[in-house]
């Protein structure tokens, strides 16, 4: 299990944009699973939406990408590099995510060729799927 400090040693993201609290499972180059506790003091709560906070879908996708980036950047030859979005496909949102929820973020790397990687990702609240899609990464 990796805490926020250990995650920061792998990916370059920092507060307020580090969207993974811990990584519970990591197989470098293959897959990772992480958790994010969605809290009332998250930076987006006051404005999205006042009186009815809903985590923006783009932030859910970003959290999934951070978990996927951890899987790719944990490979020794990628240490110290940055994983950039190169594509986002077939993303679907099935459930709203709100403060008090805990997101389980899963990304399985399906293909990697040179600096380009592809992953299938899904975010869950409990056993309910909140978001799923395909991610493409460029490692530089």
Give the active site residues.
Answer: 48
Query: Tens digits of per-residue pLDDT, 50-98?
Result: 999 999 999 999 999 999 999 999 999 999 999 999 999 999 999 999 9
Residue 90 burial (10 A CB sphere; 0-12, 13-18, 19+):
exposed
Could you tell me if 79 and 32 are in contact, meaning their C-beta atoms sit under 8 angstroms apart?
no
3-state SS, residue 14: coil
Superfamily of domain 4-139: Hotdog Thioesterase (3.10.129.10)
| Domain extent listing, the chain | 4-139
C-alpha–C-alpha distance, residues 93 and 14, integer Å = 26
Cα–Cα distances (Å) from 88 to 55, 61, 117, in that order, read: 18, 9, 12
Position 96 scores a pLDDT of 98
Position 105 scores a pLDDT of 99
Sequence-distant (6+) residues with CB within 8 A of 35 are 20, 21, 22, 23, 24, 102, 103, 104, 105
Position 29 scores a pLDDT of 96
Could you tell me if 131 and 91 are in contact, meaning their C-beta atoms sit under 8 angstroms apart?
yes
């Amino acid at each position: 299990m990796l805490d926020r400090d250990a995650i920061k040693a792998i990916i370059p993201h920092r507060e307020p944009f580090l969207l993974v609290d811990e990584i519970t499972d990591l197989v470098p180059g293959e897959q990772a699973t992480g958790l994010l506790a969605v809290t009332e003091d998250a930076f987006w709560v006051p404005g999205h939406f006042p009186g009815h906070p809903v985590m923006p879908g783009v932030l859910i996708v970003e959290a999934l990408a951070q978990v996927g980036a951890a899987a790719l950047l944990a490979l020794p030859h990628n240490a110290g590099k940055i994983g950039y979005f190169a594509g986002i496909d077939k993303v679907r949102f099935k459930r709203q995510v709100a403060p008090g929820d805990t997101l389980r973020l899963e990304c399985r790397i399906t293909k990697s060729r040179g600096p380009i990687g592809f992953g299938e990702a899904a975010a869950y609240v409990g056993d309910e799927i909140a978001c799923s899609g395909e991610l493409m990464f460029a490692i530089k």
